[in-house]
């Protein structure tokens, strides 16, 4: 893990870098791509939960009493941005099976060109939960920023964003749009191209996860 700033964390474990290289390869099959997205999400959520609070608990082992540590039980939710974010949910749930899942679909308004939610289904108590917003690619940052604004309107206080690949343009926009959010990414790429694809990136993550290329 490489803390680039107070709010940007690069998850650059050697296993992560190796898996990301396979993910980027245009010849990687859809099935393998999906599995790698899940595995990378698991590595990333491990880092994104490294600041969770602990409290002491007394446990009787077969040999003696032990004072151990357990999570204080803060409730968590994972919110995938449809559609590509769905590919990261199982990796998060592998580590945090008790997390609730909220779904958020974003689209661009025809008139204003601003992203807004076309579908949202959140856990009832989302405002009391720590939320992990997941989307494999942070390109312009538009839909991610709109997702955060939506969650803030619902009263969510603690939001972390997990992506696999980020463009510098998206990172700058995200940090400028929200003063508190923390970003976890496995790579920071060079730039966006004229079609707003990340360069070198990995192509359209949703198409590659769902085999719709």
Strand partners, 101: 78
59 or 199: CB nearest ligand URA: 199
21 or 158: CB nearest ligand URA: 21
Is residue 104 within 8 Å of 51, Cβ to Cβ?
no
Known binder of ligand: residue 83?
Answer: yes
Known binder of ligand: residue 148?
Answer: no
Known binder of ligand: residue 138?
Answer: yes
The nearest distance, CB 172 to ligand URA, in angstroms, is 16
- Which residue of the set 112, 124, 153, 195 is catalytic? 112
Task: For residue 57, give the H/E element and its range.
Answer: strand 54-60
156 or 163: CB nearest ligand URA: 163
Spell out a b/e string for 55-85, using b for 16 or more CB atoms within 10 Å of the CB, else e.
eeeeeeeeeeeeeeeeeeeeebbbbbbbbbb
Query: Does the N-terminal peptide bond of residue 127 adopt cis geometry, omega within 30 degrees of 0?
Result: no
Q: Percentage helix, strand, coil, to 5, in the chain?
A: 35, 30, 35
- Which residue of the set 7, 100, 108, 152 is catalytic? 108
Known binder of ligand: residue 142?
Answer: yes
What does the alpha-carbon distance between residue 209 and residue 40 come to, in Å, rounded to a whole number? 13
The nearest distance, CB 98 to ligand URA, in angstroms, is 29
185 belongs to the catalytic site: no
38 or 129: CB nearest ligand URA: 38
Query: Does the N-terminal peptide bond of residue 145 adopt cis geometry, omega within 30 degrees of 0?
Result: no
Residues lying near ligand URA in the complex (CB under 6 A): 84, 137, 139, 197-198, 201, 204-206
Known binder of ligand: residue 145?
Answer: no
Write out the catalytic residue numbers: 108, 112, 204, 207
Residues that constitute the known binding site for uracil: 198, 203-205
Residues that constitute the known binding site for 5-phospho-alpha-D-ribose 1-diphosphate: 83, 108, 135-143, 204
């Amino acid at each position: 893990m490489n803390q680039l700033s107070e709010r940007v964390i690069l998850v650059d474990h050697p296993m992560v870098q190796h898996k990301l290289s396979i993910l980027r390869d245009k010849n990687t099959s859809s099935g393998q791509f999906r599995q790698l997205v899940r595995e990378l999400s698991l590595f990333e959520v491990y880092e994104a939960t490294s600041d969770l609070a602990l409290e002491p608990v007394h446990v009787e082992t077969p040999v003696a009493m032990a004072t151990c540590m357990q999570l204080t039980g803060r409730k968590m939710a994972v919110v995938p941005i449809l559609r590509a974010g769905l590919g990261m949910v199982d990796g998060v749930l592998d580590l945090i099976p008790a997390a609730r899942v909220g779904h958020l679909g974003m689209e661009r308004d025809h008139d204003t060109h601003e992203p807004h939610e076309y579908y949202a289904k959140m856990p009832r108590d989302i405002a009391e939960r720590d939320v992990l917003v997941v989307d494999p690619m942070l390109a312009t940052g538009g839909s991610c920023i709109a997702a955060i604004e939506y969650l803030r309107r619902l009263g969510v206080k603690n939001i972390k964003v997990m992506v696999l690949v980020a463009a510098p343009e998206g990172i700058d926009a995200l940090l400028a749009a929200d003063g508190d959010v923390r970003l976890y990414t496995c790579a920071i790429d060079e730039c966006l191209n004229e079609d707003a694809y990340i360069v070198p990136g990995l192509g359209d993550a949703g198409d590659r996860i769902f085999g719709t290329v």
